Homo-oligomer: A and B are copies of this chain.
């Protein structure tokens, strides 16, 4: 239990900074030196907490997946219906992008996956699998309750929504057009609503 204002451990701070750097520059474009400079310590000290860069990557993704699972659990249990859950899901991505046009951590790493340590790549894979499963479940419930209408399998529909959100971040960045996100997720979700 962490009380308000308590100073973060070096371990946690390293993960925080690494996450921000990866979401904005990518795994291959941040270094132990970047972390060391921001923290005001030496790179050797980073290696004390994370022996290799791959170890840091794995730890970061484990934390990221756990936090994301918690967000999904909260959305699933806060009383909203399926339509509202999808909107809240999309809002998670919108919120991330609003911060300095940051990508989803796994969106970035998905693009870079070929040049990533295998253990890190495996964590990325798990993130998408879990997310797809959760979304497919929401879509299935929504369809059964006749709140949502779509053709094809819930899994394909889940994939479309994830791809749309991840892609929207990538393209919005590529175009350096921050309002890009605005209409898009909304447009898509509107179409899912049963008439």
Residue A142 is within 8 A (CB to CB) of chain B in the complex: no
Size category of the A interface is 35 or more
Residue A7 is within 8 A (CB to CB) of chain B in the complex: no
Q: Are A26 and B163 in contact, CB atoms less than 8 angstroms apart?
A: no
Complex contacts, A109 vs chain B, CB 8 Å:
174
Quickly give the copy total for this chain: 2
Interface centre among A114, A152, A168, A188 (most CB of B within 10 A): A114
Least distance between A145 CB and chain B CB atoms (Å): 21
Residue A41 is within 8 A (CB to CB) of chain B in the complex: no
Interface centre among A157, A167, A176 (most CB of B within 10 A): A167
Question: Which of B132, B156, B165 contacts A184, CB < 8 Å?
Answer: B156
Chain B minimum-CB-distance residue to A104:
B170
Residue A86 is within 8 A (CB to CB) of chain B in the complex: no
Residue A111 is within 8 A (CB to CB) of chain B in the complex: yes
Residue A171 is within 8 A (CB to CB) of chain B in the complex: yes
Question: Which of B26, B127, B175, B176 contacts A111, CB < 8 Å?
Answer: B26
Question: Which of B28, B127, B170 contacts A170, CB < 8 Å?
Answer: B170
Give CA–CA (A173, B121) in the complex, Å.
10
Q: Are B125 and A174 in contact, CB atoms less than 8 angstroms apart?
A: yes
Q: Are A124 and B170 in contact, CB atoms less than 8 angstroms apart?
A: no
Contacts A26-B114, A107-B170 aside, 4 further interface pairs with beta carbons under 8 A come to A110-B175, A151-B191, A163-B168, A163-B171
